[in-house]
A and B are shown apart, each in its own frame.
Chain A
C-alpha cells in the first residue's frame, strides 16, 4: 500500500462513533512537503480524519504512519504534528507573544532566544510588533495568522489546518489563500488542509482527496480531479457538469463513439473508452467546454438547440440550452469576449449551435 515516498501513510483506517461509521476503510499516502487537502461536504469525515492525524481521535481499526512511525500509541502532545484550529483557539488569557511561544515551554530556551524566535514568527506572518497585543484585540485574520505562527514555531513535521479560512470574509479569505500557499512553499512543511470549499482546495493544493460518507472517492491533482473525475459524485462536487446517459459504439475505427441522449452519436477518443461495445456509460461535459455559435460551426460534430434560459455574469454568461432527446437543458458557460449588449449574446429562444472537442468528453461508469 505504502509507496516509498509516503510521508504520512493512512492504511485501512475505520472509525466508529457508536454504530455510526465516520471513516470507512480509508487508505492514502501524503508526500513530504505536499500541500494536501481533504475536501468534502460537512459530515463526510474529513475533520475526523484530520483529528486522527493530530491524535484527538483514535482509530477503530487500521494504522496511521507519520514519517515511518506508527502513531496509535502516541498521545497528541507527543506527535510531531501541530494544528491550526477552525476557531483558531487563541488563548484568551495570554498576549500574542505568549500565545506564539506557548509550545516552547519544554525546550527550556533562554528568554532572549524565545523572544527572538517569536519576533521571527511575527515577521513571517507579517505582524511585526504585535507581541504585546491582547488576544481580544485581534481581528479574525490576525487570529488566523497567530494560530499559524503558534504551530509553525515548533517546526512540526506536518501542519494540520481545520478549515482555517472558513470564518473570514470573502476578500480576506482570497488574500489569505495566497499567503498560505506562499508560506507553505517558504517553510516547506507538509500541510494537510481540511475544507468544504472546492475552489479553495483547487487554488491551494498540490493534491486533493475528495471525501464523501466517510470514504475517499478520489485522490488527485486539482487539474486531474477537474478534467478527469473518476465518478459522477466527484465530477459534480467539483465545478458544474452536464451528464448524459449513453451506450458505447466502438465501430472499429480509430475514433470510438457514444450514443448519448440528446447529443446523438458523438465521437470519443478510443483511449477514453474502457468499456466494451454496447456497454451503458455516462458521459460528462463541463459547461465551458461547449462552443456556442449562431451558425453551424466548422467542427467534426455539432448539434442544434434553443436557449431556454440565460444569465449574464459579467466576464461570462451562463446559458441553458434545450436539445431534443434530453429532458433537462444543457448548461453552457461562455466567455463574453465581445462586448455584450442587453442580457446576453444569445437571446432567449434563439436557435444556436453547440460544438465541443472530442477530448473534452469524460466517460464515466453508469450509476
Chain B
C-alpha cells in the first residue's frame, strides 16, 4: 500500500498545494512575484469574462451530462434486463470506444461536422443543400454532441452496474402489487438506480467542465470553455498564477455544484419515497 500511496500523494496532493500557493502570487515578467496577494481571485471574481466562461462551461457540460445520461440509461437498462447471453460481449462493445484516444474521437467529430465534413459534403452530394451548413462546426452544439459521444461509456458502466444490482423479485413484487411497466419503472427501477445516475452525472460533468480539446477543435469562439482559458494562461499568455487561480476557482465551483446536486437528489429521493 505504502508505495502506491506515496506516489499518489506526490502526484496529487503536492501539486495541488503548490498550485494553491502559486495562485496567490503574481506574474513578474518571466518569473513570479511571490508576495501573497488575493489579486488574482479578485480579478477572477470581478472581471465578467471569467464568470461568463465559467457559466458557459457549466452550461455546456451540464447539457452534455444530461444528454449522455438520458441516452445511455435505456441502453444500460437493455443490457441489464434484456440481454441474457453474451452480456460480457455487450459491455465490452459499449465501452470499447471509450478506451481509444480521446483526441482521435474528438478529431472524428471534426471530420464529421466540418465545413467540408461528412455531413455537409454528404448532404451536398445528395443534393439536399447547396451551401455547407455553418452552424455544425464551431458551435456549442458541436461541443455538446462531441462530449456526449465521447463520454458515453463513462455513463453506461455505473448505470449498468446499478441496474444489474436491482433484485428482479422487487420488480416482480411491484408488478404483483398492481404496477404496470411505467409505474414500476418510476416507483422502483429509477429510485433504485439513482446511485448509478448520480455517479454517471459526476463522472461526466466534472471532467468535461475542464475539457479544452473539444472546444479547441470544435467550439470556435462561441464554444470556448474555461479549460481553453486556463490552457492559454499556461501557454501563450504566460500568466501561471492566474491560470492556477482559475484552476482553483474551477475546482471550488465544481465541488459546490456537486454538493448542491447531491443535496437536491437526496431531497428528491425522500420526496418520491
Q: Which residues of A contact B (CB under 8 A)?
A: 54, 56, 75-78, 81-83, 85-87, 89, 91-95, 98, 102-103, 105-106, 150-151, 154
Q: Assess whether A154 is in contact with B178, with CB atoms less than 8 Å apart.
A: yes
Alpha-carbon distance A9/B150, docked complex (angstroms):
57
Besides A76-B175, A77-B176, A105-B179, 13 new A-B residue pairs in contact (Cβ under 8 A), listed by A number: A77-B175, A77-B179, A77-B180, A82-B177, A83-B172, A83-B176, A89-B170, A91-B188, A92-B170, A93-B192, A94-B273, A150-B173, A154-B177
State which residues 165-198 of B face A: CB under 8 Å: 167, 169-170, 172-180, 183, 187-188, 191-192
- 25 contacting pairs across A/B (C-beta < 8 A): A54-B172, A76-B176, A78-B178, A82-B176, A82-B177, A83-B176, A85-B172, A86-B169, A87-B169, A89-B167, A89-B172, A89-B173, A91-B170, A91-B174, A92-B192, A93-B191, A93-B269, A95-B273, A103-B177, A103-B178, A105-B179, A105-B187, A150-B173, A150-B177, A154-B178
Set of chain B residues within 8 Å of A105, measured between Cβ atoms: 178-179, 183, 187
Alpha-carbon distance A106/B179, docked complex (angstroms):
9
Set of chain B residues within 8 Å of A154, measured between Cβ atoms: 177-178
Set of chain A residues within 8 Å of B179, measured between Cβ atoms: 77, 105
Alpha-carbon distance A225/B183, docked complex (angstroms):
44
Set of chain B residues within 8 Å of A92, measured between Cβ atoms: 170, 192
Alpha-carbon distance A78/B180, docked complex (angstroms):
9
What 3 pairs across the A-B complex have the smallest Cβ distances? A103-B177, A89-B173, A89-B169
Distance to closest chain A CB from B51 (angstroms): 39
Which residue of A81, A85, A103, A151 contacts B169 across the interface (Cβ within 8 Å)? A85
Please report whether the interface of chain A is mostly helix, strand, loop or mixed according to DSSP: mixed
Of A86, A92, A93, the most chain B CB neighbours within 10 A belong to A93
Give the residue name and chain of the B residue nearest to A98 (CB): B273
Set of chain A residues within 8 Å of B180, measured between Cβ atoms: 75, 77
Set of chain A residues within 8 Å of B173, measured between Cβ atoms: 83, 85, 89, 91, 150
Set of chain A residues within 8 Å of B172, measured between Cβ atoms: 54, 56, 76, 83, 85, 89
Give the residue name and chain of the A residue nearest to B194 (CB): A93
Give the residue name and chain of the B residue nearest to A94 (CB): B273
Distance to closest chain B CB from A118 (angstroms): 14
Q: Which residues of B contact A (CB under 8 A)?
A: 167, 169-170, 172-180, 183, 187-188, 191-192, 269, 273
Set of chain A residues within 8 Å of B170, measured between Cβ atoms: 89, 91-92
Q: Assess whether B176 is in contact with A106, with CB atoms less than 8 Å apart.
A: no
Alpha-carbon distance A106/B173, docked complex (angstroms):
15
Distance to closest chain A CB from B205 (angstroms): 24
Alpha-carbon distance A341/B12, docked complex (angstroms):
78
Give the residue name and chain of the A residue nearest to B183 (CB): A105
Alpha-carbon distance A54/B176, docked complex (angstroms):
7
Set of chain A residues within 8 Å of B174, measured between Cβ atoms: 91, 102
Alpha-carbon distance A173/B188, docked complex (angstroms):
30
Alpha-carbon distance A75/B174, docked complex (angstroms):
13
Distance to closest chain A CB from B242 (angstroms): 46
Set of chain A residues within 8 Å of B273, measured between Cβ atoms: 93-95, 98
Set of chain A residues within 8 Å of B192, measured between Cβ atoms: 92-93
Set of chain B residues within 8 Å of A151, measured between Cβ atoms: 176-177
Set of chain B residues within 8 Å of A102, measured between Cβ atoms: 174, 177, 187
Alpha-carbon distance A215/B191, docked complex (angstroms):
41
Alpha-carbon distance A105/B175, docked complex (angstroms):
12
Set of chain A residues within 8 Å of B183, measured between Cβ atoms: 105
Give the residue name and chain of the A residue nearest to B184 (CB): A77
Alpha-carbon distance A78/B179, docked complex (angstroms):
9
Alpha-carbon distance A94/B273, docked complex (angstroms):
6
Alpha-carbon distance A54/B174, docked complex (angstroms):
12
Distance to closest chain B CB from A161 (angstroms): 12
Alpha-carbon distance A308/B180, docked complex (angstroms):
63
Set of chain A residues within 8 Å of B188, measured between Cβ atoms: 91
Alpha-carbon distance A280/B117, docked complex (angstroms):
89
Give the residue name and chain of the B residue nearest to A86 (CB): B169
Q: Assess whether B178 is in contact with A77, with CB atoms less than 8 Å apart.
A: yes
Alpha-carbon distance A85/B175, docked complex (angstroms):
12
Set of chain B residues within 8 Å of A103, measured between Cβ atoms: 177-178
Distance to closest chain A CB from B162 (angstroms): 12
Set of chain B residues within 8 Å of A87, measured between Cβ atoms: 167, 169
Distance to closest chain A CB from B198 (angstroms): 14
Distance to closest chain A CB from B165 (angstroms): 11
Set of chain B residues within 8 Å of A85, measured between Cβ atoms: 169, 172-173
Set of chain A residues within 8 Å of B176, measured between Cβ atoms: 54, 76-77, 81-83, 151
Alpha-carbon distance A76/B174, docked complex (angstroms):
10
Set of chain B residues within 8 Å of A98, measured between Cβ atoms: 273
Set of chain B residues within 8 Å of A150, measured between Cβ atoms: 173, 177
Alpha-carbon distance A293/B173, docked complex (angstroms):
57
Give the residue name and chain of the B residue nearest to A78 (CB): B178
Alpha-carbon distance A348/B236, docked complex (angstroms):
102
Alpha-carbon distance A154/B183, docked complex (angstroms):
17
Alpha-carbon distance A102/B171, docked complex (angstroms):
12
Set of chain B residues within 8 Å of A95, measured between Cβ atoms: 273
Give the residue name and chain of the B residue nearest to A56 (CB): B172
Distance to closest chain A CB from B98 (angstroms): 30
Alpha-carbon distance A94/B271, docked complex (angstroms):
11
Alpha-carbon distance A105/B179, docked complex (angstroms):
9
Set of chain B residues within 8 Å of A89, measured between Cβ atoms: 167, 169-170, 172-173
Alpha-carbon distance A86/B176, docked complex (angstroms):
14
Distance to closest chain B CB from A133 (angstroms): 13
Distance to closest chain A CB from B115 (angstroms): 50
